[in-house]
């Protein structure tokens, strides 16, 4: 099924999304990958404050290539989500609702998605040139020193993703690539 939705997300939209749906996202999303997750986790432990508001938002696991002059961003496809598994349940418990990446997630992430009514999307891995076309604006808003791993606010228009794991815990990879949680967090 094809769906056009807005970000940040709302509960009705999330509960209507089913694993396997083709979804086009328009609105505001945030990027964070390995180093930003590690730092957010450390910051949370220190003072409980994060540089972005998590409630109802989507995090895109992305480290873009540099933008040429006059363009909002360079190549911008997803990185492997499993490396963020260690940090993700805590973020979901704080209000994060959506994630965009690629690849399997851990049992703990799946439980946290179901517990909090979240959703996990996959974008097409290795299609960074194509995906960059759906990103209209990009601004570094935190952790600038991390370079490509800084946190960016993106304005996206019909950004194409596929629902891999819905709020009920159904996951698309189970049918194709074995259980989504088979080995999410330990090795990749």
Residues at the site binding another protein, with contacts judged by CB under 8 A: 35, 62-68, 74-77, 79-80, 82, 102-104, 122, 124-130, 132-133, 146-149, 160, 162, 172-173, 175-178, 183, 187-188
> Minimum distance between the CB of residue 68 and another protein, rounded to whole angstroms?
5
The residue (of 6 and 71) whose beta carbon lies closer to another protein is: 71
Spatial neighbors of 172 by CB under 8 A, at least 6 apart, are: 19, 20, 122, 162, 163, 164, 165, 180
Nearer to another protein, 79 or 88 (CB): 79
- Whole-angstrom CA distances from 50 to 9, 46, 93, 151 are 19, 10, 14, 11
Report the residue number, 112 or 123, with the smaller CB distance to another protein: 123
95 or 178: whose CB is closer to another protein?
A: 178
In the complex, minimum distance from the CB of residue 162 to another protein, in angstroms, rounded to a whole number: 6
Q: Smallest distance from the beta carbon of 31 to another protein, in angstroms?
A: 11
- Closer CB to another protein, residue 111 or residue 174? 174
H helix and E strand count, the chain: 6, 7
- Min separation Cβ 134 and another protein, Å: 12
Taking the alpha carbons of 172, 22, 151, 45 in that order, is the dihedral positive or negative? negative
Nearest-angstrom CA–CA distance, 27 and 138? 12
Q: What is the DSSP code string of 13-73?
A: HHHH--TT-EEEEEEEEEE--HHHHHHHHHHHHHHS--SS--TT-EEE---PPPPPTT-S-
State in angstroms the smallest separation of the CB of 105 from another protein. 10
């Amino acid at each position: 099924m094809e769906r056009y939705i807005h970000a940040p997300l709302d509960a009705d939209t999330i509960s209507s999304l089913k694993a396997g749906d083709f979804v086009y996202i328009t609105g505001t999303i945030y990027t964070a990958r390995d180093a930003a997750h590690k730092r957010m986790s450390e910051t949370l432990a220190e003072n409980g404050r994060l540089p972005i508001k998590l409630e109802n938002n989507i995090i895109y696991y992305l480290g873009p290539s540099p933008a040429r002059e006059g363009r909002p961003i360079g190549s911008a496809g997803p990185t492997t989500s499993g490396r963020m598994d260690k940090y993700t349940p805590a973020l979901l418990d704080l209000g994060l609702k959506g994630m965009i990446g690629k690849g399997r997630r851990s049992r703990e992430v799946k439980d946290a998605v179901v517990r909090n009514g979240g959703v996990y999307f996959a974008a097409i891995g290795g299609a960074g040139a194509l995906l960059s076309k759906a990103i209209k604006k990009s601004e570094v808003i935190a952790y600038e020193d991390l370079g490509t791993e800084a946190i960016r606010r993106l304005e996206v228009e019909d950004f194409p993703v596929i629902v891999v794991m819905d709020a009920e815990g159904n996951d698309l990879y189970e049918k194709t690539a074995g259980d989504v949680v088979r080995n999410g967090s330990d090795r990749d």
